[in-house]
């Protein structure tokens, strides 16, 4: 299939996996927010799988938590590129970094909303 980067070579798949692991390691090594969110994920994913009733609830509890990690990595990538390209302050650089941070914040709100809507009625009523 032309244009997709994968030519049927398992070595390419292995290299892509290694690059992904490098990205996770870099996130862990250099980003305190990623470390905190990763530790929360280690707790929340098993709890979500345990307390969720049925597949849809389990997905609604687990998926947003993992999505936070993904967007945190993208936010960190944006910040790294912005810092490399524009080390001095620039309004657009600040805006890009703030918007990446806002994306992570909105996902954290989504996590709280999903957990609250699913577990709140059970624990409060």
Distance CA 103, CA 107 (A): 6
Catalytic residue ranges = 72
Structure tokens at 62: 């687990």
Structure tokens at 116: 């609250």
Residue with tokens 């590129």: 81
Structure tokens at 49: 């799988």
């Amino acid at each position: 299939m032309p244009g997709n980067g994968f030519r049927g070579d398992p070595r390419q798949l292995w290299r892509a996996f290694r690059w992904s692991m490098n990205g996770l390691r870099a996130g862990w090594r250099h980003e305190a927010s990623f470390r905190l969110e990763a530790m929360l994920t280690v707790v929340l994913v098993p709890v979500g799988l345990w307390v969720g009733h049925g597949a849809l609830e389990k997905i609604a509890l687990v998926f947003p938590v993992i999505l936070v990690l993904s967007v945190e990595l993208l936010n960190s990538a944006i910040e790294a590129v912005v810092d490399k390209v524009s080390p001095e302050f620039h309004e657009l650089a600040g805006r890009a970094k703030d918007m990446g941070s806002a994306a992570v914040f909105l996902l954290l709100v989504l996590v709280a909303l999903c957990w609250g809507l699913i577990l709140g009625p059970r624990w409060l009523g």
